Amino acid sequence: MAELVIPAPEQVTIPTRDGGAFPVRRIFCVGRNYAEHAREMGHDPDRELPFYFTKPADTVVLNGADMPYPTATKDLHHEMELVVAIGTGGSDIAEADALTHVWGYCAGLDMTRRDLQNEAKKAGRPWDMGKGFDHSAPLGVLVPAQGVDPSRGRIELKVNGQVRQTSDLGKLIWSVPEIIANLSRLVALAPGDLIMTGTPEGVAAVQRGDVLEGMIEGVGEVRTRIV
Ligand code: MN
């Protein structure tokens, strides 16, 4: 192999509950996957197939670390989400087999520059700069899939101790197996891929100094402070 002409990018990893490290390959995100959130954003949740956007792997902020307030926005929003970590890849994965491809789960935040996302929507432009900016993906510790039922469980986000988002995984419009089956028809899923499954209602702006604490029943927590 030819010699690298610049240093290779560092492999991003997130810690697992048992002290391991999960290498992150890609981060896929599902848009509008809770009916009440779709409505608060001005959409009809009953008519849409799942759709996706991505964040680069190196947007990950490790659990407990600070998140710098990003540049170029005056409207940074929190989106609390269940994150699925793919352990075994595949294309055209059947819904019935989908959960066997999951290594584990964590709580995560799809941080969003809402003003840039809204401008992009209006102009019919990509969402990348609204969604895939530096430090936009604070993630909790991964727990193995065994013993986790991703079809139910309370999902909640507190900002400075006040509940801002609260719902249940049972309200996902597209379930975790349906998302894996659908996404694996669009791209070949690979070990290391993460899927952020969408946020419930209650998204709102955060400011420097705010402490965000998310919790998913049976999965765990995610914590960051905006600095
Ligand atoms: Mn989201």
Measure the CA–CA gap between 68 and 75, rounded to whole angstroms: 14
Average pLDDT over every residue of 90-111: 98
Amino acid 76: pLDDT = 98
Phi, psi for residue 158 in degrees, rounded to 5: -110, 140
Ligand 1 center from residue 9 Cα (angstroms): 26
Ligand 1 center from residue 53 Cα (angstroms): 9
Q: What percent of the chain has pLDDT over 90?
A: 94
pTM of the model: 0.97
Phi, psi for residue 69 in degrees, rounded to 5: -60, 125
- Give me the architecture of the 14-225 domain, per CATH: Alpha-Beta Complex (3.90)
What is the per-residue pLDDT across 179-201, written as a single tens digit (0 to 9) for each? 999 999 999 999 999 999 999 99
Ligand 1 center from residue 90 Cα (angstroms): 24
Report domain extents, the chain. Answer: 14-225
What is the per-residue pLDDT across 15-34, written as a single tens digit (0 to 9) for each? 999 999 999 999 999 999 99
Ligand 1 center from residue 196 Cα (angstroms): 7
Residue 45: pLDDT over 90: no
